[in-house]
Amino acid sequence: MKTLGMIAAGIAVTALAVLGAGPAHAGFTDPVEFTDSGENVEDDGFGEYAINRSDPNSCLVVQNHTGGRVTVRLNYPTSGGKWLFDHDQVGVLMRNGKVVTSPSGNWNVRTNPPIRFDWVYDGNMNTRRGCNGSWVLTMN
């Protein structure tokens, strides 16, 4: 009987830990690391787009709903490297295990293939990662 009580207590603690964690937004916070330095890669296929808004130290979340793989590169705030997003992949840009932030809040993004995308700012997204909110770049 003692063993059954200990098992029940263990299940209750596990359930509280899972339920107490709150809703998960893993799709917006999954890390996507850069894949290379990008120094010897042709940029001919990339379309340039920029967003201007003053949200210092914001992060960038990318949502790829294009039906194919998209490569994302940054002109600002950092250059070099690329981030690959498969269809329906969503994630925050990371470099060397840290989120990429924009000191000014401005982002200049290139994609391959060139794709039109939408920008939405969420001041509460990824704040636990040290971001002053996140820009969400959605590619359809």
Per-residue pLDDT of the chain (140 residues; tens, 9 = 90+): 554 444 444 433 333 333 333 333 434 567 888 776 555 455 566 777 777 677 899 999 999 999 999 999 998 888 777 999 999 999 999 998 899 999 998 888 989 999 888 999 999 999 999 999 999 999 99
Residue at 11 is within a domain: no
| pTM (predicted TM-score) | 0.72
Domains held by the chain: number: 1
User: What is residue 124's predicted lDDT score, i.e. its pLDDT?
Assistant: 93
Residue at 21 is within a domain: no
Residue at 70 is within a domain: yes
User: What is residue 64's predicted lDDT score, i.e. its pLDDT?
Assistant: 95
- How many CB atoms are located within 10 Å of the residue 32 CB? 19
Residue at 10 is within a domain: no
Residue at 6 is within a domain: no
User: What is residue 85's predicted lDDT score, i.e. its pLDDT?
Assistant: 95
- Per the structure, the complete domain to which residue 36 belongs is given by 26-139
Residue at 49 is within a domain: yes
User: What is residue 32's predicted lDDT score, i.e. its pLDDT?
Assistant: 84
